[in-house]
Amino acid sequence: AQSVTQPDIHITVSEGASLELRCNYSYGATPYLFWYVQSPGQGLQLLLKYFSGDTLVQGIKGFEAEFKRSQSSFNLRKPSVHWSDAAEYFCAVGPKAAGNKLTFGGGTRVLVKP
């Protein structure tokens, strides 16, 4: 069965510092991979996605993620964090098939210090 692990429950980072959020997945084949962000009181907003091709994908708000097949990882990065990046971040995987049920990780809550 597919699963997604986000090892870090909480991360605190200073504004302007870099951020990396880890995501490891277990899947029978190469899945579709997603990062979503949930700001307080808001829904899930898609940051970026990986389907195929270039393993480094760019997303919105200055985020990028790198797919590493050998490590079954899809880590999210941002070079310089802004206070507005404080939120909860979810990694998700889905099958390359119709239906496309997403399996989510437990989320990483990011706190940004001034």
Partner 1 sequence: EPEVTQTPSHQVTQMGQEVILRCVPISNHLYFYWYRQILGQKVEFLVSFYNNEISEKSEIFDDQFSVERPDGSNFTLKIRSTKLEDSAMYFCASRGTPSTDTQYFGPGTRLTVL
- Residue 103 makes contact with partner 1 by CB under 8 A: yes
For residues 23 and 67, is the Cβ–Cβ distance under 8 A? no
- Residue 51 makes contact with partner 1 by CB under 8 A: yes
Interacting residue with partner 1 among 10, 20, 106, 113 (CB under 8 A): 106
Residue linked to tokens 């990062």: 35
Which residues inside 3-42 make contact with partner 1, applying CB under 8 A? 32, 34, 36, 42
Beta pairing class for 19-21 and 73-78: antiparallel
Kindly state the tokens that stand for 4. Answer: 């997604």
- Residue 44 makes contact with partner 1 by CB under 8 A: yes
DSSP 60: G
CB of 32 to partner 1, least distance (A): 5
Strand partners, 31: none
- Residue 96 makes contact with partner 1 by CB under 8 A: yes
- Residue 2 makes contact with partner 1 by CB under 8 A: no
Q: Which of 114, 112, 108 is nearest to 38 (CA)?
A: 108
- Residue 90 makes contact with partner 1 by CB under 8 A: yes
Give Rg (Cα) of the chain. Answer: 14
Binding site for partner 1 (CB under 8 A): 32, 34, 36, 42-46, 49, 51, 90, 92, 94, 96, 98-107
